[in-house]
Amino acid sequence: MNENPRMALTKGRLEKDTVNLLEAAGLDMEPVRKPSRKLILQVPQFPLDLILLKGPDVATYVEYGVADLGVVGKDVLLEDPKPVYEVLDLGFGRCRMAVAGPPEMAATPKKHLRVASKYPRIARDYFEGRGQSVEIIRQQGSVELAPLMGLADVIVDIVETGNTLKANGLVVLEEIVPISARLVVNKISYKTRRHEMNRLIDMMEKQLTNR
Amino acid sequence: MNQRKVFLPQGVQDLLIDDCLLRRVIENQIMETFTQWGYMEVSSPALEYYDLFTRPEVLADGDKMFKLIDADGRILVLRPDCTIPMARVVATKMRDFVYPLKLCYVADVFRIDQEQAGKKREFRQAGIELFGVTTAKGDAEVLVTAIETLKGIGLQHVTVELGSVKYLKALFRQLGLTADQQAAVVALLEEKNVTGLQELARDYGINGGYGALLTRLPRLFGTLEEVQAALAQHPQTPEMTEALEELQATIELVADYGLDQYLGIDLGMVNQLDYYTGIIFKGFTRDLGTVLLSGGRYDALLGNFGMDCPATGFALVIHKITKALKIQEQLQVPKRRHVLVLACDTPRGTVGEAVGQLRQQDDIVEFCLLKTADDIRAYMKKRQVDELVRIHPDGRVESIDPARLTDAMMKEVTQ
């Protein structure tokens, strides 16, 4: 068992939002703000260690209990479900998972749809749920390009402002699910350290309701 | 293609020497505890009909089973679970046995889990099943056996947490949830997803005291007293009260035995709700982030085989137990005295007699099959051989210092 509870943060924007939230809750976040090569950061005067990882790794670390808690996007949890507790919707990192494509796609639904996505599982689940069989084309990035180049009919991707879509002449055709950052907890840690975990959860929740 | 002959498929592994030894030690200890509690070992085949696990839908997910086609076209599976085969064995072969019937097993189970690279697809489970007891005494008996088993193998910081399927189902009935709604609620309870439950309650138009209880469920875990205190502000139906009393009675029985310090409660615990019917439980240690043991009461399962018989039991996963023990540094490879024998030409039978005597104290005694002194010394070092002996023609056993062994001495030894 780790001495201090260990929280894994998703590098990038979610990390910044989480750090702001914890800071607002009264924690000293200086070590995280300072650029450093350290991989495990200790919060001064508070029993909490932080580690920084990529989204899917956050979920994995928490699943195995290497990290007790984690902050990760709902998109990651939907694409690669892990047996972890998802105790809090943190509200930030808000966007939508949506089907997007050229505007004319809305008028002429196709029988066989080619879908490009970084989220093959979410895409498949969504279309299967509607009874439509689709061909999923897995992408690593620049998904908007696929319909333009004729690789796919539509895309399934995260939409925040819609600016990228607009710039490429695409529109949101259907919304699949709203996305935001979630606080996840290892199933065993939550039980064996419930007082520490609940304290952290309550502390973060209180900040959210105060906003 | 050519390379495949040297690799293993995903999710399976070879166990070498010490790991095999440790597995045997752990399994023996576990089976010994089961035996001491009156459980009798049975063994079912690794191959079963696919239908056994899917009709009626008990284990539901047919996609996760390894399937084979029999010569007559029927679908077979490698067993994905041990409890259902046990129920089949009891209903078809042990109906007239004396009850309560206590059975135990240790067996390999096979599950397809492609999503997660590195997860085991073949692993060993050991477990017990108690047939023919409806009372809390039966549940307590199984719980005590579970705790004693974990303690018996030296596992530390053990907790076994109890939930109640009866309580959950009573709440769902009170809320008037449809089957689909129930499935959605169960999925969110599994995640302790409070936000999700709150949204769902809004969508379903659930409010009032029971709605508040539903969204509070993820937090209703801890000690019996803590949970009872938290429940005080929530309403409950007579059915729910009954389920809680059952839980309390079970805990009291475990307390009478003196093991209640290992127990916790989680009213938000869910586990295959169409399979379990009463108390369910999960065992873990704070040192490993995964469940080691799980079980509960499944009074309806035997009905699928035309037998009306209550049942309860648990299974534990051997490799997870091993991992936890390794983390806690509770594992030692058992060491026996190891003797290497150089035998000279002797009258027939003399060597056998001498070796028999050497082996009497559980020692490892093996004949030397090497020819040179250097090879023998290298072998002894690698295999951690404790003693080198020579058996003389007259049957006399002489201990030899390996450092002083020469090739000349080897000439007298039978090759």
3-state helix/strand/coil string of A154-171:
EEEEEECCCHHHHHCCCE
pLDDT digits (tens, 9 = 90+) for A117-162: 999 999 999 998 888 889 999 999 889 999 999 999 999 999 998 8
B84 & B205 share domain: yes
For position B256, what pLDDT does the model report? 96
A85 & A189 share domain: yes
Residue B394 sits at φ, ψ, to 5 deg, of -85, 5
* Of the partner residues B192, B221, B285, the one whose CB lies closest to the CB of residue A87: B192
A65 → chain B, closest CA residue: B289
A102 & A161 share domain: yes
Contact A191 B218 (CB under 8 A): no
CA atoms within 13 A on the CB side of A136: 20
3-state helix/strand/coil string of B165-220:
HHHHHHHHHHHCCCHHHHHHHHHHHHCCCHHHHHHHHHHHCCCHHHHHHHHHHHHC
Contact B192 A190 (CB under 8 A): yes
Answer for the pair B392, B398: CB distance below 8 angstroms, yes or no: yes
B359 & B305 share domain: no
B146 & B223 share domain: yes
Number of domains in chain B: 2
Measured between CA atoms, how close is B294 to chain A, in angstroms? 13
* Of the partner residues B190, B191, B289, the one whose CB lies closest to the CB of residue A188: B289
Q: Which residues of B are annotated as a binding site for L-histidine?
A: 81-83, 111, 125, 129, 275-276
* Of the partner residues B157, B192, B289, the one whose CB lies closest to the CB of residue A65: B289
B26 & B159 share domain: yes
pLDDT digits (tens, 9 = 90+) for B177-214: 999 999 999 999 999 999 899 999 999 998 889 999 99
Measured between CA atoms, how close is B201 to chain A, in angstroms? 16
DSSP state of B9: P
B3 lies in some domain: no
A1 lies in some domain: no
| Residue B103 pLDDT > 80 | yes
Percent of chain B with pLDDT over 70: 96
For position B402, what pLDDT does the model report? 92
Max mean pLDDT range (A109-113, A178-182, B369-373)? A178-182
B274 contact partners, CB below 8 Å, separation of at least 6 = B57, B58, B60
B57 lies in some domain: yes
For position B59, what pLDDT does the model report? 57
B247 & B307 share domain: yes
Measured between CA atoms, how close is A6 to chain B, in angstroms? 13
A48 & A58 share domain: yes
| Residue B19 pLDDT > 80 | yes
Contact B191 A85 (CB under 8 A): yes
DSSP state of B305: G
Number of domains in chain A: 2
| Domain end call among B327, B356, B389 | B327
For position B126, what pLDDT does the model report? 97
For position B78, what pLDDT does the model report? 95
A13 lies in some domain: yes
pLDDT digits (tens, 9 = 90+) for A43-94: 988 999 999 999 899 999 999 999 999 999 999 999 998 999 999 999 999 9
Confidence class for position B8, pLDDT limits 50, 70, 90: confident
A151 & A200 share domain: no
Residue A164 sits at φ, ψ, to 5 deg, of -60, -40
Confidence class for position B1, pLDDT limits 50, 70, 90: low
User: Which structural domain range is residue A128 located in?
Assistant: 95-178
A69 & A43 share domain: yes
Question: Rounded mean pLDDT of chain B?
Answer: 91
A188 & A89 share domain: yes
* Of the partner residues A63, A88, A194, the one whose CB lies closest to the CB of residue B222: A194
Q: Which residues of B are annotated as a binding site?
A: 81-83, 111, 125, 129, 275-276
B214 & B349 share domain: no
Sign of CA dihedral A185, A188, A194, A196: negative
pLDDT digits (tens, 9 = 90+) for B151-172: 999 999 999 999 999 999 999 9
- Extract the runs of DSSP E, i.e. beta strands, from chain A: 6-10, 40-42, 49-53, 69-73, 85-89, 95-101, 113-117, 134-138, 154-159, 171-179, 181-185
For position A35, what pLDDT does the model report? 74
Which residues of chain A approach chain B closer than 8 Å at the C-beta? 1, 63-66, 80, 83-89, 185-194, 198
Q: Which CATH number fits the domain that encloses residue B403?
A: 3.40.50
A116 lies in some domain: yes
Sign of CA dihedral A75, A76, A78, A79: positive
B123 contact partners, CB below 8 Å, separation of at least 6 = B108, B109, B317, B318, B319
Residue B62: name the closest of B71, B70, B53 by CA.
B53
For position A2, what pLDDT does the model report? 58
| Residue B386 pLDDT > 80 | yes
B391 & B319 share domain: no
> What integer is the mean pLDDT of B109-131?
85
B274 lies in some domain: yes
- Extract the runs of DSSP E, i.e. beta strands, from B204-277: 221-222, 263-266
Grouping H, G, I as helix, E, B as strand and the rest as coil, residue B120 is: coil
Residue A71 sits at φ, ψ, to 5 deg, of -115, 120
Helix axes B165-175, B179-190, angle to 10 degrees: 130
Q: Can you read off the two tokens belonging to residue A105?
A: 């796609």
pLDDT digits (tens, 9 = 90+) for A9-52: 999 999 999 999 999 998 988 888 887 778 888 998 899 999 99
For position A86, what pLDDT does the model report? 95
pTM above 0.90, yes or no: no
> What integer is the mean pLDDT of B112-137?
86
Chain B residues with CB under 8 Å of A185 CB are 192
Contact B286 A66 (CB under 8 A): no
Measured between CA atoms, how close is A151 to chain B, in angstroms? 26
B29 & B159 share domain: yes
A194 → chain B, closest CA residue: B222
Q: Which of B63, B114, B120, B192 to mutate to test the interface with A (most CBs of A within 10 A)?
A: B192
Contact B191 A86 (CB under 8 A): yes
A124 & A87 share domain: no
pLDDT digits (tens, 9 = 90+) for B208-258: 899 999 999 999 999 999 999 999 999 999 999 999 999 999 999 999 999
Contact B284 A198 (CB under 8 A): no
> What integer is the mean pLDDT of B347-362?
80
A69 & A40 share domain: yes
B323 & B346 share domain: no
B104 & B153 share domain: yes
For position B353, what pLDDT does the model report? 83
B320 & B391 share domain: no
For position B262, what pLDDT does the model report? 96
B397 & B286 share domain: no
Confidence class for position B6, pLDDT limits 50, 70, 90: confident
| Residue B58 pLDDT > 70 | no
Contact A191 B266 (CB under 8 A): yes
B23 lies in some domain: yes
Helix axes A194-210, A13-24, angle to 10 degrees: 90
Contact B191 A88 (CB under 8 A): no
Confidence class for position A1, pLDDT limits 50, 70, 90: low
Cis check for the bond before A83: say yes or no (omega within 30 of 0).
no
B11 lies in some domain: no
| Domain end call among B264, B293, B327 | B327
User: Which structural domain range is residue B293 located in?
Assistant: 17-327
For position B116, what pLDDT does the model report? 56
As a whole number of angstroms, the distance between CA B151 and CA B143 comes to 12
For position B41, what pLDDT does the model report? 97
A56 → chain B, closest CA residue: B116
Q: Which CATH number fits the domain that encloses residue A150?
A: 3.40.190.10
What's the CA dihedral at B300, B304, B306, B312 to 10 degrees? -40
For position A108, what pLDDT does the model report? 66
| Domain end call among B271, B299, B327 | B327
For position B415, what pLDDT does the model report? 63
A162 contact partners, CB below 8 Å, separation of at least 6 = A172
Measured between CA atoms, how close is B68 to chain A, in angstroms? 27
| Residue B117 pLDDT > 70 | no
Residues making up chain B, counted from first to last: 415
Measured between CA atoms, how close is B341 to chain A, in angstroms? 47
Contacts 24+ apart (CB under 8 A), B180-183: B182/B273
For position B57, what pLDDT does the model report? 59
